[in-house]
Amino acid sequence: MLPKVDEYRINSQDCLDVAEGCHDAPRRSRLLNMALMWLRLAEQAERNDKTEYETTGWVRRRNVD
């Protein structure tokens, strides 16, 4: 199973690949926007992996491989 960040990046690339072959301007635009949103989600997931979280009084650091 892939880490979420990798899944998000793959989804982004999939959208870009489909958009490249798309000749319908509105559909292409939506695909490019979706690719951007997947990429932003991947970036946020990376930041979350490096962030400390406070839960029920305990501070824990997420494991970063």
Q: What is the mean pLDDT of residues 2-28?
A: 96
Q: Is the pLDDT of residue 24 over 80?
A: yes
**Residue-level pLDDT at 1:** 86
Of 9, 6, 5, the closest CA to residue 47 belongs to: 5
45 or 65, which is more confident:
45
Question: What band does 52 get if pLDDT is binned at 50, 70 and 90?
Answer: low
**Residue-level pLDDT at 49:** 83
Residue 46, judged by CB atoms within 10 A of its CB (0-12, 13-18, 19+), counts as middle
